[in-house]
Structure 1
Amino acid sequence: MKKDIKSIFKPHLEPKEVYKGGKNTPPSNKKIYKLSSNENPLGASPKAIAAMKAILDKIDVYPDQTDIRLRMTLAQDFDGQLSADQFLCGNSGSEVIDMLLRAFINEGDEVIFSNPCFLPYSVFSRWYGAKQVDVPLLHPNYDLDVEGILKAINEKTKIIFLTSPNNPTGTYIPKSVMDDFMARVPKNIVVVFDEVYRHFADADDYVTALPYVLEGHNVIGLNSFSKTYGLAGQRIGYGYTTPTIANYVRLIHKPFLLPLTSIEAAIGALNDNEFVQKTVKTVLEGRKYIASAFDDLGITYWPSQGNFFIIDPPLPEIAFTDKMIEEGIMVRPVSQFGAPGKVRITIGNADANNALVSALRKIMAK
């Protein structure tokens, strides 16, 4: 029987949903504010830029064989609460997700996530033949369905993805909810706690993965340098966890994994507390201003702990997105994230936020 090359393709890799980032290239014929990708409203950390420039004459040689220098700097950034061997670094937070799936998932294993959420949780897990179990966030407030997740766990469950603040909803998991969940989740399951927007969370009961890692739980705090530090173009991220998990996952860490410029940029950014504080201040002020404008205009939105909002637009999502482009604002439809009909809007700098509000007023007046 004659067979072609497709006969050896893995069936779980057949074309299905594919992660697509927000549009990266604004129209060139007019001033456009890009509020579609949750990028830093101030640009990149000046110390990160300086660190990259200082190393440019050395890009002809291989970078560090391991990520140890960055891990040591991260340990300092966490005030010595964690050791360097508790960190995992990769080319973006997304690659750390991929490493975790490669380390723990065999074909037929199960992964739990809660839509609306970051699409790579499901897309990447499919690459390794995992069964994807969606326990949706509860309506209308997008709260975590703790009981639903616990009921969905079985002997094949290997990883549970939690996100706080959550992309694209901006909602978060209160500490009391997280405490309850971590006390009840089985000890042979890895909890990936995506906290890439943690710097912008100011709720009194917000919690990161750190206290649970310190208590020895099988949890991984996932972070990125793309948001707070403005290094989206450098594609660098990290996770922190127990020494046992970190040392295991590091077995699949490729040598020379991180580019030299990314290592230097990340180390520079971690030493730029002034830029971090300025970024957070800009986002929190912008978040308050935009929320007030939404209230005045009667636009339905969800309170956010991130550097973005999700809204129920006054027009169908694509028509609204197109109309916003006409007004000079790029925003992001998020049906692909599991939030049909909704649109995500990034908080920008003062000029961008003013332009956003002006565009919304114009659209709402029609």
Structure 2
Amino acid sequence: MACDYIELANKGVQGLQPYQPGKPVEELKRELGISDIVKLASNENPLGPSPKALDAIRSILPELTRYPDGNAFRLKQALGKKLGVNSEQITLGNGSNDVLELIGRAYLTGHSAALYSQHAFAVYPIVTQAIGAQHIAVPAKNWGHDLEAMAAAITDKTRVIFIANPNNPTGTWLSEQEVRAFLDKVPARIIVVLDEAYTEYVDQPDFPNGIALLSEYPNLVVTRTFSKAYGLAGLRIGYSVSHLQVADILNRIRQPFNANMAAQEAAIAALDDEDYLAKSVQVNAEGMAYLESEFKRLGLDFIPSVGNFICVDVAQPAGPVDQALLQEGVIVRSVAPYQMPNHLRVSIGTAEENGRFINALKKVMADRQTPLEESNPE
């Protein structure tokens, strides 16, 4: 008997489109037969993992037949010491995306709503809609969060507010004063998620440390990751820090082995490798300065960023430019799905990778003296 298995699914899930990650290097090799490829699409650390993390992974290889510590005791102790928090305030995830979903499952229902900013991380509406809750995108201000408008959008149905600081994909950021003023307006019944996936890269004197705000705002949940500055994206390890009661709720629905053994050991070692982190931040700052100067030289507008990526306005539909760069063996990211049709998001790479991108961009832009129509505007 025939059955429509789409119709059987949760109504919110029926309306979802899968998250589209950056194109993998291997996929481009298969498609175009290119071997010399630079990937600057997924905000990954161009240095590779910390040597200490690699050593830690090698040391536990004989134990991979065993399940990992379901409570990740040693990693939570290391994080608690590093961050100055009670380890019981920590919830681990298979990447911080996993924790975002836990928050949605714990605090959203089909009768509630979540707020987030226009141009914000695509996972926020995905998490919300999959649960069947209402998701509301508040119009952005200068490509970033308009916190006054977000406060005004709060209703009796609002249960979760997602804020990315810095924001992905725009790289914009909020000051401590702005965040505090917003939190003061939010009722205690609403969970405010401060997504700090790129916080290690930020060097702004007025930038807030979300974890330092937890003692004043018990409805605040701070999420962070080892995927960016710590270079462990492939192992998928992230976490949140929150009020003890919130952490208790999240850990009730967290899968017991969502942080694998290799990820736990690598994360512990990475936390201890301060030289690696400092080098990552330095390479990022130098690369950011280089790309900004080159964009100015090319007469291209860009959005100032404090993450490990930057959005550049190519002054025409970005999709064809993105495709042309692929032909040159350079993978970046069109952010048209974020209502930014003329922008490319470029991850900061090594000096060589950044130079390769700029040379390819110059060639592509020279070949496209007049903007071409998108072949498929959808």
TM-score in same-fold range (> 0.5): yes
The reply to whether residue 41 of structure 1 matches residue 46 of structure 2 is yes
SS in 2 for 1:214: coil
**CA shift for structure 1 position 56:** 0.5
| Residue 120 of structure 1: aligned partner | 123
| Residue 333 of structure 2: aligned partner | 332
User: C-alpha offsets along residues 24-68 of structure 1, whole Å, 9 cap, x if unaligned?
Assistant: 125332311100111001011111111111000011111112122
- C-alpha RMSD of the superposition: 1.7
CA separation of 1:8 and 1:351: change in aligned 2, threshold 3 A: closer
Matched AA of 1:22 = G
State the distance in 2 between where 1:340 and 1:329 align: 19
| Residue 58 of structure 2: aligned partner | 53
User: Contact (CA 8 Å) 1:297, 1:364: kept in 2 or not?
Assistant: no
State the distance in 2 between where 1:68 and 1:115 align: 38
| Residue 129 of structure 1: aligned partner | 132
| Matched-pair identity in % | 34
Matched AA of 2:124 = Y
| Residue 320 of structure 2: aligned partner | 319
| Residue 175 of structure 1: aligned partner | 176
| Residue 12 of structure 1: aligned partner | 12
| Residue 269 of structure 2: aligned partner | 268
SS in 1 for 2:16: coil
Matched AA of 1:250 = N
| Residue 236 of structure 2: aligned partner | 235
State the distance in 1 between where 2:225 and 2:23 align: 20
User: C-alpha offsets along residues 87-108 of structure 1, whole Å, 9 cap, x if unaligned?
Assistant: 1101001000011111111112
**CA shift for structure 1 position 6:** 6.0
**CA shift for structure 1 position 340:** 2.6
**CA shift for structure 1 position 313:** 1.2
User: Contact (CA 8 Å) 1:208, 1:221: kept in 2 or not?
Assistant: no
State the distance in 2 between where 1:255 and 1:145 align: 37
Matches within 5 A, 1:196-215: 196-215=197-216
**CA shift for structure 1 position 5:** 5.9
The reply to whether residue 65 of structure 1 matches residue 65 of structure 2 is no
| Residue 22 of structure 2: aligned partner | 22
User: Contact (CA 8 Å) 1:117, 1:338: kept in 2 or not?
Assistant: no
User: C-alpha offsets along residues 181-203 of structure 1, whole Å, 9 cap, x if unaligned?
Assistant: 01111111000001100111112
**CA shift for structure 1 position 4:** 6.5
SS in 2 for 1:172: coil
State the distance in 1 between where 2:192 and 2:43 align: 24
Matches within 5 A, 1:133-148: 133-138=136-141, 141-148=142-149
From 92, 95, 106, the equivalent of 1:92 is 95
User: Contact (CA 8 Å) 2:7, 2:14: kept in 1 or not?
Assistant: no
User: Contact (CA 8 Å) 1:43, 1:230: kept in 2 or not?
Assistant: yes
User: C-alpha offsets along residues 235-264 of structure 1, whole Å, 9 cap, x if unaligned?
Assistant: 110011122211222121222332111111
Matched AA of 1:130 = A
CA separation of 1:184 and 1:360: change in aligned 2, threshold 3 A: same
| Residue 374 of structure 2: aligned partner | none
| Residue 376 of structure 2: aligned partner | none
TM-score (norm 1): 0.94
User: Contact (CA 8 Å) 2:317, 2:341: kept in 1 or not?
Assistant: no
Matched AA of 1:41 = P
Unmatched tracts of structure 2, length 5 or more: 368-378
SS in 1 for 2:346: strand
| Residue 106 of structure 1: aligned partner | 109
**CA shift for structure 1 position 7:** 6.0
State the distance in 2 between where 1:227 and 1:233 align: 10
Unmatched tracts of structure 1, length 5 or more: none
| Residue 225 of structure 1: aligned partner | 226
**CA shift for structure 1 position 362:** 2.5
Matched AA of 2:20 = K
